[in-house]
Structure 1
Amino acid sequence: MNRAVVDRQVALDAQGLPDQAELETWVQAVLALHPDEPRGELTVRFVDSAESQALNRDYRDRDKPTNVLSFPFECPPGVPLPLLGDLVICHSVVIAEARAQDKTVGDHYAHMVVHGTLHLLGHDHIEDDEAEAMEALERDILAGLGIADPYLTPSPPHRDSDTEDERADA
C-alpha cells in the first residue's frame, strides 16, 4: 500500500492543531482510494490569517484568508520525485467555520486535509459534476474515519463561499 509521508509545519502559535498521527491517518485514507498513485509525500502547513490571505491573494486573486489552499507539485519530465505538493491551512478560518457549522474542530480539520489532498491528486469542484464526484469521495473517506457528512450541517460549505477551499495551481 502506498504510505504517505507528511511533513507537518506549524507557522503560528496555536492550540488544538492536528498532530502528526492524525494528519497521516487522514492523508492515508485518501491515498487508499488511489493505490496506483506513486506520489505520497506532502507538506501540511498551519498558518495564521495573514499568511493565508497573502497566499490566497497572490495565487487566487482573492484578498482574504481561506480555509485550505492546495499547491500540487508538478514534477519536471523525467525526474521521479514522489511529491504530491503542499496544503496550507488557516487555523482561525477552520475554527470559525467549525463553530458556524456546528462541527468539532477535529472533524473539520479532517475534512480540510481530505479535501486538500484530493485536490493534490487532481480532483476539482469547478463544474457541478466534478463537485458532486469530489464531495461523494469526501463523504466516503470521512465516513470511513467515523466522521459525519460535512455537507449536512446547519451552515454547509458552499462551492462559492468566501472561505472556499481551493486548489492554487502554482
Structure 2
Amino acid sequence: MNTENKLVSQKSQTKDYIESAIFAALIALGALITIPLGPVPITLQNFFVFMAGLVLKPKQALLSTVLYALLGLVGLPIFAGFSGGPQSVLSPAFGFILGFIPISYLISKYSRGEKNPWKIFLILILADILLYAIGLPYLYLILTRINGLPMTLASSLKAGMVPFIIPDLVKALLAAILGPKILSALNRN
C-alpha cells in the first residue's frame, strides 16, 4: 500500500472512530433524559442506539455501544440517573445496557441500504424484542437473587417491559423515519 492510500485509510479509520464516539456520547445524552419508573427508567438511550445502528457501519455501531458501556463502567456518570461505575452491573437496568451492544450491530447489519421506513421499523422492533430478551432476565436475576425481592415472570414483565412498549414503538418509528434521511444527507445511501 502506497503512502497516499495509507493516509486515506487512516483518515477514514479516524473518521469512523470519531463517529462511533459521537454516538456513544449521544447514547449518554439519551440516558440523562430520564423518566423514573420503577427499577428501569424511560430514557432516550435506545433511540440513540437505534440511530447508531441505522447511521453507522456495523463495527462502528458496535464500537459506539461498547464504548458507552465501558465509559459508564469505569465511573463516568453516563447511565440513567447520572450513575456509573463497576457497581452498575448490579443495577436491574444493566442488562438493557448489555443488550445495546448486539442490537446496534444487528440493526446496522440488517438495515444497510434499506430505504423503506416500514422495513426499517420492523428491524427496529425485532431488535427491541432482542433487547427485552436480554434485559428482562437480567432484571429478574438482579431483583430476585441480589436484591431478594419476590418476583414472578409476570411482575418482571410488568416492571421491565409493559410501560416501555408504547414509548419504544414511538422511538422506533421516529428512528425509522429519521435514519434514512440522515444517511441521505450524509450521502451514505
Give the alignment's TM-score, normalised by structure 2: 0.33
More strand per residue: 1
With a CA cutoff of 8 Å and minimum separation of 6, indicate the structure with the bigger relative contact order.
Answer: 1
Greater Rg, structure 1 or structure 2?
Answer: 2
Q: So what's the TM-score if we normalise by structure 1? A: 0.35
